[in-house]
Amino acid sequence: MSSFLVSPCNSLSGVIAIPGDKSISHRAIMLGSIANGVTKVSGFLEGNDSLATLKSFQQMGVDIERLGSNVTINGVGMHGLRAPGKPIDLGNSGTSMRLMAGLLSAQSFDSELCGDESLSKRPMDRIIEPLRQMGAKIEGHNSKPPLTISGNQPLRPITYELPVASAQIKSCLLLSGLYAEGETCIVENVTTRDHTERMLRGFGYQVNCSDNCITLDGGGELKACDIDIPSDISSAAFFMVAASIARDADLTLKAVNINPTRTGIIEILQLMGANITLSNESEMAGEMIADIQIRSADLKGIRIPNELVPLAIDEFPVLFIAASCADGETLLTGAKELRVKESDRIQVMADGLAVLGIKTEVLDDGIRIQGGQFTKPNTSIKSHHDHRISMSFAVASVACNFDIKIEGVDNVKTSFPNFVELANRIGININELH
CB 4 within 8 A of CB 208: no
Kindly state the helix (H) or strand (E) to which residue 195 belongs, with its residue range: helix 195-202
Q: Read off the pLDDT of residues 245-288 as tens digits, 9 standing for 90 and up.
A: 999 999 999 999 999 999 999 999 999 999 999 999 998 878 99
54 three-class SS: helix
Q: Are residues 220 and 236 in the same domain?
A: no
- In a shared domain, residues 211 and 241: no
Q: Give the DSSP H/E element, type plus range, for residue 242.
A: helix 233-245
Closest residue by Cα to residue 373 from 270, 247, 237, 238: 247
Read off the pLDDT band of 141 (50, 70, 90).
confident
Instruction: Report the candidate in 298, 302, 269, 285 with the shortest Cα–Cα distance to residue 277.
Output: 269
Q: Are residues 111 and 34 in the same domain?
A: yes
Task: Based on the fold, state whether residues 353 and 273 are members of the same structural domain.
Answer: yes
Number of domains into which the chain is organized = 2
Q: Are residues 276 and 257 in the same domain?
A: yes
pLDDT band for 379, please (50, 70, 90 cuts). Answer: confident
Active-site annotation holder among 248, 314, 351, 364: 314
- 330 has a pLDDT exceeding 80: yes
Domain boundary among 210, 228, 246: 228
In which domain, by residue range, is 40 found?
22-228
Question: DSSP secondary-structure letter at 183?
Answer: E
Do 312 and 372 lie in a common domain?
yes
Rounded Cα distance between 40 and 181, Å, is: 30
Chain Cα centroid distance, residue 156: 29
The mean pLDDT value for 52-75 works out to: 98
Residue 211 shares a structural domain with residue 333: no
Say if residue 327 is in the same domain as residue 349.
yes
CATH of the domain at 416: 3.65.10.10
Residue 51 is predicted with a pLDDT of 97
End of a domain among 228, 252, 268?
228
* CA–CA separation, 153 and 61 (whole Å): 21
Same domain (yes/no): 425, 290: yes
190-243 pLDDT per residue, tens: 889 999 999 999 999 999 999 899 999 999 999 999 999 999 999 999 999 999
Q: What is the pLDDT of residue 182?
A: 97
pLDDT in tens, 42-55: 999 999 999 999 99
**Annotated catalytic residue 314:** yes
Co-location of 115 and 177 in the same domain: yes
Question: What confidence score (pLDDT) does residue 161 get?
Answer: 97
* In a shared domain, residues 251 and 282: yes
pTM of the model: 0.93
| Of 283 and 101, more confident | 101
pLDDT for res 10: 81
Question: Is pLDDT of 352 > 80?
Answer: yes
On whether both 12 and 38 belong to a single domain, the answer is no
Neighbouring residues of 239: CB distance < 8 A, sequence distance ≥ 6:
12, 16, 18, 251, 253, 294, 395, 422, 423, 426
CA–CA separation, 186 vs 50, rounded Å? 25
Domain closes at, from 228, 248, 283? 228
